[in-house]
Amino acid sequence: MTTPVLSVQELSKVYGEGDAQVRALRGVSLTVERGDYVAIMGASGSGKSTLMNILGCLDVPSSGRYLIDGADVGALEERQLAVLRNRKIGFVFQSFNLIPRMSALANVELPMAYGGVGAAERRARALAALEQVGLSDRVRHEPNELSGGQQQRVAVARALVTAPSLLLADEPTGNLDTASTGDVLEILDRLSASGRTIVIITHEDDVAAHAKRVIRLVDGQIVEDRRQAPVDGPPPRMPEVPA
Amino acid sequence: MSWFEILRFALRGLAANKLRSFLTTLGILIGVGAVILLVAFGEGASQSIQQSIQRLGSNTLTISASFSGGGFGGGGGGGGGQAGGPRTQARQLTLEDARALADREQAPSVRSVSPVVTASSATAVHEGASHTISQLVGTYPSYFEATNKPVTSGAYFVNDDVLAARKVMVIGRTVAEELFGAADPVGRRVSVSGVPFTVVGVLKELGSSGMQDADDVAIVPLPAVQQSLTGFGALGSIIVQATGAGTTESAQAEVTAVLNQRHDITPTGTADYRILNQATLQETVSSTIGVFTALLGAVAAISLLVGGIGITNIMLVTVTERTREIGIRKAIGAPRSAILGQFLLEATVLSLVGGLSGVAIAFVGTRFTIAGIEPVIVPSSIALALGVSVGIGLFFGSYPANRAAKLRPIQALRHE
Ligand SMILES: Nc1ncnc2c1ncn2[C@@H]1O[C@H](COP(=O)(O)OP(=O)(O)O)[C@@H](O)[C@H]1O
Ligand SMILES: [Mg+2]
């Protein structure tokens, strides 16, 4: 059996001190195999984002172990963490988080700039990623000239342009209308079909229906872990590919 | 991630807020420009004053009568000389004093002695052209050498002219232009207060120094001016030239001894004359100007500091405003050094561009002469002003930049 892409054991996160203390995660253990497409569901305040931020190495847990591709994240230095965020993780936020006053192309190139990719290759790969999300005609536009759905597609392109082991998305469709939601989910389905490992947060059943596996969180604990499709198969709602 | 790349990010960050970047740069520009310009003006003033002192000759002593001190103390009372030491009434300087000073035995360090009387505002007329000479000097030929006044055309007058009290005169450039225009004045006649003088020479142009036009002079033999204008009274001053720059001090001691004897001054009494030593004067003036320049520099340095605080302020605002952006950059894998480098470079570019434009402005500014002072750029002031401005950028930029770079990505992303 190959090493899982990510593996967390007894993860807990406590915010604040004393009376104001909030236990956002209470002992979460989870393993995600390569190629899986996992949806994490739960009510608002159940700790989904907290878990996702730790998985994306944006925050540190109060206790517990976290391995990415078998490497212990807790033991890494700041510099190695930066490399890890850059190479192994692609993160898509609910609020897009594109850098303002930078074109879509420049935004997508940015992770490769920090990763030390040469200018020519960077441009080619960024254009390819934008093409993949269907935005070839919007590469020069700045975020404030794009619709929400287009911005989120740019964010997806930025997350996958470094070919990360893990694509994390925290309610990527939360701020989008139905049509844009469809666009983004279709892109994720295609990425999953091509073997990319994806973890997505959502509180919509429609969105979760696209995943191969659904995990439900309540008050910082996993209460349900249901598989909807095999890890190595296509995602369940994958649109029929014309033969 | 190369430094070139980080520099590009920094420039893009600055370009995103052009007006703010421009104003910050302006603060530094004014500071650096002011430091260099003010120091250059101080230096220019210092050099021009030193030059005009040097023009007087550095190894000369100017002796003039002094009426200060207790000379009039015992006038009203019956018995003379009770208080203040035995002191007879203050005496004027006379031609005899000058002759005594020229004695090789008593004053071996003295090279020449020139008695001087000065008539101010004498009106000279030549064929209808009229000019009021601000300084009409009656003296001996040695005066020309002692006070460093060469002639450009014609000649000096000589000792014979003095003995014969000939009415000849050497005039300054201003007088020549006012009376003769472009024509050669040598050999022409000028009448001063009705007395006819023949021009024998024209002095080399000295240029004006400060208020006074040093070229608005006429120099004539001593008896000629005494006969016709001032009368045979006291001398205005005596100019003593020492045998060399090194003997000025001993010449001063000898002159003091001779005059004390002649004027009956006791070693404890107050002298009735004053000796002005050019070398000492020069030292005093240059140290005064040094203080003056330092003051100007200090005022300018304050404006530089204010510019620096402007950079700090802007960097703090920029970093706070862009904390979310920093969070995004860190989330997609920007190392701490890249974030720190970007903001440090932004601060450095601001201060460097401001500093260099300040230098450029200062270079342009020092091409102009203001209030008769030609500014002289002091290279060390450029280095200092630039160094300080870049230093300020780095120093004050590093605090907010470092704070930003240390944030955990999620802290930065949650920042509102
Ligand atoms: N930075 C924080 N400081 C304090 N409490 C927090 C912070 N972030 C989240 N929480 C709390 O932790 C709990 C889980 O939050 P979150 O993970 O954002 O939930 P979800 O994303 O599932 O809505 C909530 O009760 C929330 O109030
Ligand atoms: Mg959330």
Convert the pLDDT of each residue in A21-52 to its tens digit. Answer: 999 999 999 999 999 999 999 999 999 999 99
Q: What is the pLDDT of residues A63-87, one digit of tens each?
A: 999 999 989 999 999 899 999 999 9
Token couple for B106 = 């008593």
The token pair at B77 is 């009372």
A42 CA closest ligand 1 atom index: 22
Domain extent listing, chain A: 6-227
pLDDT on residue A24 = 94
Could you tell me how many CB contacts below 8 A there are between chain A and chain B? Answer: 68
Mutate to test the pocket of ligand 1, among A49, A95, A216 (most ligand atoms within 8 A of CB): A49
**Is the pLDDT at A130 greater than 70, yes or no?**
yes
Ligand 1 neighbours by CB, cut-off 6 Å:
A 15-16, 22, 24, 42, 44-50
- Where does A6-227 sit in CATH, by number? 3.40.50.300
Nearest CB neighbour to A158, from listed B12, B332, B409? B332
Query: For residue A129, what are the contacts with CB-CB under 8 A and spacing of at least 6?
Result: A108, A157, A158, A160, A161
Token digits of residue B168? 């000849």
Closest atom, ligand 1, to C-alpha of A50: 17
How would residue A116 be classed by pLDDT, with cut points 50, 70 and 90? confident
What's the one-letter identity of residue B182?
Answer: A
Please choose, from the candidates B36, B90, B103, B102, the residue with its C-alpha nearest in 3D space to the C-alpha of residue B64: B90
Sign of the Cα pseudo-torsion (B67, B71, B77, B83, in order): positive
Mutate to test the pocket of ligand 1, among A14, A15, A46 (most ligand atoms within 8 A of CB): A15
Quick check: A114 and B325 CB within 8 A?
no
Nearest CA to ligand 1 atom 27: A45
Q: Which pLDDT does position B176 carry in this prediction?
A: 86
Distance CA A154, CA A143 (A): 9
Nearest ligand 1 atom to the CA of A48 is 22
Residue B325, both tokens: 């952006």
- A8 and A203 in contact (C-beta within 8 Å)? no
Question: Average pLDDT of each block of 10 consecutive residues along chain B (416 residues)?
Answer: 78 82 86 84 80 71 70 37 49 82 81 85 81 86 82 84 85 85 84 86 73 79 82 83 80 84 78 79 78 81 80 81 89 90 85 89 82 79 84 80 85 84
The pLDDT confidence band at residue A127, using thresholds 50, 70 and 90, is: very high
Q: Which residues of A110-127 are buried (b: 16+ CB within 10 A; e: fewer)?
A: bbbbbbebeeeebbebbb
C-beta atoms of B333 and A56 within 8 A: no
> Cα A238 vs. chain centroid, distance in angstroms?
19
End-to-end Cα, chain B, rounded Å: 29
**Which residue in B245, B333, B324, B296 sits closest to B46, CA to CA?**
B296
| Spatial separation of the C-alpha atoms in residues B141 and B163, rounded to whole Å | 11
Amino acid (1-letter code) at residue B34 = A
Residue B15 is given by DSSP the state H
**Is the separation of the CB atoms in B88 and B73 below 8 Å?**
no
How far lies B98's CA from each of B166, B231, B236, B319, in Å? 21, 17, 11, 79
- Run of H or E including A184: helix A178-193
Which pLDDT value is given to residue B246? 75
Query: For residue B221, what are its two tokens?
Result: 């033999």
- Distance CA(B169)–CA(B133), nearest Å, equals 12
How high is the pLDDT of residue B298? 84
CA of B414 to the centre of ligand 1 (A): 12
Task: Evaluate if residue A242 carries a pLDDT over 70.
Answer: no
Q: Report the predicted TM-score, pTM, of the whole model to 2 decimal places.
A: 0.68
Q: Which residues contact B318 (CB under 8 A, 6 or more apart)?
A: B13, B17, B20, B343, B346, B400
d(C-alpha B45, C-alpha B62), whole Å: 24
Do the Cβ atoms of A97 and B413 come within 8 Å? yes
Do B148 and B244 contact (CB within 8 A), yes or no?
no
Residues of B with CB under 8 A from a CB of A: 1-2, 5, 12, 16, 324-325, 327-336, 338, 408-410, 413
The CA distance from B348 to the nearest CA of chain A, in Å, is 21
Q: How far apart are CA A140 and CA A145, in angstroms?
A: 10
All residues of chain A having their beta carbon less than 8 Å from the beta carbon of residue B334 are 82, 86, 114
- Write the ipTM: 0.92
Q: Do residue A102 and residue B334 have CB atoms under 8 angstroms apart?
A: no
Which residue do the tokens 């450095």 mark? B348
How far CA A46 is from CA of A17, A30, A217, in Å, comes to: 19, 16, 6
Beta-carbon separation of A85 and B333 below 8 A = yes
Domain spans of chain B? 3-52+284-414, 60-277
Q: Which residues of B touch A78 (CB under 8 A)?
A: 335-336
| Closest CA in chain B for residue A158 | B332
If you measure CA to CA, which chain A residue comes closest to B338? A114
The interface residues of chain A toward chain B in range 13-42, judged by CB-CB distance below 8 A, are none
Burial of A42-79, coded b for 16+ CB within 10 Å and e otherwise, reads beeebbbbbbbbbbbbbbebeebebbbeeeebeeeeee
Pure H helices in B56-151: 95-101, 142-146
